[in-house]
């Protein structure tokens, strides 16, 4: 069984004061069980001032996570905040793994996962996954290699993001150290109880007419219905100038063969060859439709997913796409506040994301790992 407890601080300059606030709130002497893991999320300047490292070094367990542009726990919602949820258990164990992501990332992933598996006879039941935001290596590409190396063990997590226009201070986190180009994994052993949910789009915000992907290469959409990607996107109402600029605010809703739920994909830009660079794999034969995201949709889908998902005495980890944050406009705290309200007395951690990692049920009764855009993903642990 996994229990949890959480804390937050807005003290960004005084490391000693921040450590004292977090340790007092966590009350480690009372709450810690045999094995523990900290899940953190924070504004990137906590790393620059040394507060992030000081807090993690003061805690007697590993801490993993990412930077974000807005975080929430314990009913606190803010941009300039450090949050931590501690998972603790007597019968589950936790290990952490750092994987450098370079041009040789496939070899690095295979090597590190193999080394992790060699340490124990038992394989993890779940990976809590924190990916870097790298333009040349997409989250979907990283996910595919980890999925291959682990044999499909469920992965849940997020891609790092931050408050800047180009996300140049977004990092993954391991024990207070920050990484621009490294994956951080938290493996969970034993018999944890976990389940997943997601909030994406209301059906009314997805166009009924669907296309068939006729040509693609990984996350590059080349053709739909026998036309070029650009021809199709213009045909369904997307403006060429917005697509070329990379204004990826109009989602593509993709239905994969073998999955019982659809996946949202952002369009980041269009290449000179009229191909669309998307936020995840676009397989040939999948159907695609145009979606629409707005503030009402963000709040209603989050509320619907959380209301049916929350149970007493469970822990909720939730990550939401930064596009949903932008869709809220001036009311940018609203989704986090809604999730905080519905979580009630349960322990939870919420943060915005550069891409979401969450399994979906497949038509064989199991789970398939997927990378998402425009989505809020939830993991329930107990």
What is the average per-residue pLDDT within 206-222?
91
The CA distance from 308 to 203, in Å, is 18
Expressed as residue numbers, the domain containing 53 is 3-199+296-381
Rounded to 5 degrees, φ, ψ at 70 are -165, 135
Per-residue DSSP letter, 104? T
Nearest to 370 by CA among 382, 352, 348, 355: 355
Q: List, in order, residues 6 or more apart from 330 with CB less than 8 Å away.
A: none
More confident residue, 298 or 279: 298
Q: pLDDT tens for residues 158-168?
A: 999 999 988 99
User: Does residue 37 share a domain with residue 137?
Assistant: yes
> H-helix or E-strand containing 117?
helix 105-119
Min mean pLDDT across 30-34, 192-196, 311-315, 374-378 is at 311-315
Q: What is the pLDDT of residues 258-267, one digit of tens each?
A: 877 889 888 8
pLDDT exceeds cutoff 60 at 245: no
Q: Select from 259, 290, 321 the last residue of a domain.
A: 290
Residues of the chain above pLDDT 70, percent: 97
Q: Return the pLDDT at 138.
A: 87
Which of residues 147 and 268 earns the better pLDDT score? 147
Mean pLDDT for the chain overall: 93
**What does the pLDDT average to over 289-297?**
88
Pair (189, 228) in one structural domain: no
Counting the structural domains of the chain, the total is 2
184 and 226, same domain (yes or no): no
How many Cα atoms are found within 13 Å in the side-chain-facing hemisphere of 118?
Answer: 6
Question: Residue 140 is inside which H or E element, if any?
Answer: helix 139-150
Do residue 159 and residue 36 come from a single domain? yes
Q: How confident is the model at residue 248 (pLDDT cuts 50, 70, 90)?
A: low
Please give the Cα distance from 77 to 35 (Å, whole number): 28
Q: State whether 74 and 121 are in the same domain.
A: yes
Q: What is the pLDDT of residue 344?
A: 85
pLDDT-wise least confident of 6-15, 216-225, 229-238 = 229-238
Q: Which of 290, 321, 336 is the last residue in one of the domains?
A: 290
> In angstroms, rounded to a whole number, what is the distance separating the alpha carbons of residues 10 and 18?
8
Separation CA 350–CA 79 (nearest Å): 12
Q: What is the reported pLDDT for 239?
A: 65
Residues 306, 173, single domain; the answer is yes
Q: What is the pLDDT of residue 251?
A: 85
pTM: 0.92
Distance between CA atoms of 324 and 292, rounded to whole angstroms? 11
Place of tokens 């951690």: 349
pLDDT digits (tens, 9 = 90+) for 326-371: 999 999 999 999 999 999 889 999 999 999 999 999 888 899 999 9
> Domain check: are 259 and 314 in the same one?
no
Buried/exposed 6-41: b ≥16 CB within 10 Å, e otherwise: bbbbebbeebeebbebbeeebebeeebeebbbbbbb
Cβ(83)–Cβ(22) under 8 Å? no
Residue 244 in this model has a pLDDT that exceeds 70? no
Same domain, 146 and 224: no
Residue 7: closest CA among 49, 50, 45, 63? 63
Read off the CATH number of the domain in which 245 is found: 2.40.10
260 & 356 share domain? no
Query: 225 and 367: one domain?
Result: no
* Contact of 159 with 171, CB cutoff 8 Å: no
Which has more pLDDT, 65 or 278?
A: 65
252 and 175: one domain? Answer: no
Indicate if the pLDDT at residue 184 is higher than 60.
yes
292 vs 202, 248, 373, CA distance in Å?
Answer: 9, 11, 13
Residues 186, 372: Cα–Cα separation, whole Å: 20
Same-domain status, 151 and 62 = yes
- Last residue within a domain, chosen from 228, 263, 290: 290
């Amino acid at each position: 069984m996994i229990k949890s407890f959480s804390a937050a601080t807005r003290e960004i300059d005084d490391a000693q004061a921040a450590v004292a606030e977090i340790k007092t709130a966590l009350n480690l002497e009372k709450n810690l069980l045999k094995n523990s893991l900290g899940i953190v999320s924070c504004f990137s300047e906590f790393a620059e001032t040394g507060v992030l490292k000081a807090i993690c070094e003061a805690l007697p367990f590993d801490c993993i996570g990412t930077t974000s542009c807005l975080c929430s726990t314990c009913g606190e919602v803010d941009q300039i905040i450090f949050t931590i949820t501690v998972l603790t258990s007597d019968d589950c164990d936790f290990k952490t793994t750092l994987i450098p992501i370079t041009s040789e990332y496939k070899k690095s992933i295979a090597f590190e996962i193999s080394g992790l598996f060699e340490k124990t006879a038992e394989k993890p039941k779940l990976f809590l996954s924190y990916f870097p935001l790298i333009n040349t290596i997409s989250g979907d590409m990283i996910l595919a290699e980890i999925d291959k190396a682990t044999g499909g063990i469920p992965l849940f997590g997020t891609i790092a993001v931050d408050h800047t226009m180009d996300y140049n201070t977004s990092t993954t986190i391991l024990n207070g150290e920050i990484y621009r180009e490294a994956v951080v994994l938290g493996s969970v052993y034993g018999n944890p109880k976990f389940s997943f949910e997601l909030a994406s789009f209301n059906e009314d915000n997805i166009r009924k007419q669907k296309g068939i992907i006729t040509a693609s290469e990984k996350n590059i959409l080349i053709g739909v219905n026998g036309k070029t990607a650009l021809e199709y996107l213009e045909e369904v109402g997307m403006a060429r100038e917005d697509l070329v600029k990379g204004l990826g605010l109009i989602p593509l809703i993709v239905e994969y063969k073998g999955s019982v739920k659809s996946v949202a994909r952002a369009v980041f830009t269009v290449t000179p060859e009229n191909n669309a660079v998307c936020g995840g794999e676009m397989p040939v034969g999948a159907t695609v439709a145009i979606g629409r995201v707005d503030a009402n949709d963000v709040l209603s889908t989050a509320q619907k997913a959380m209301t049916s998902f929350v149970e007493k005495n469970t822990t909720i980890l939730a990550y939401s796409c930064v596009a949903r944050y932008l869709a809220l406009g001036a009311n940018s705290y609203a989704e986090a506040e809604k999730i905080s309200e519905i979580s009630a007395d349960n322990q939870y951690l919420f943060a915005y994301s550069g891409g979401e990692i969450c399994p979906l049920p497949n038509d064989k009764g199991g789970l398939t790992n997927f990378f998402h855009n425009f989505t809020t993903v939830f993991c329930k642990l107990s």
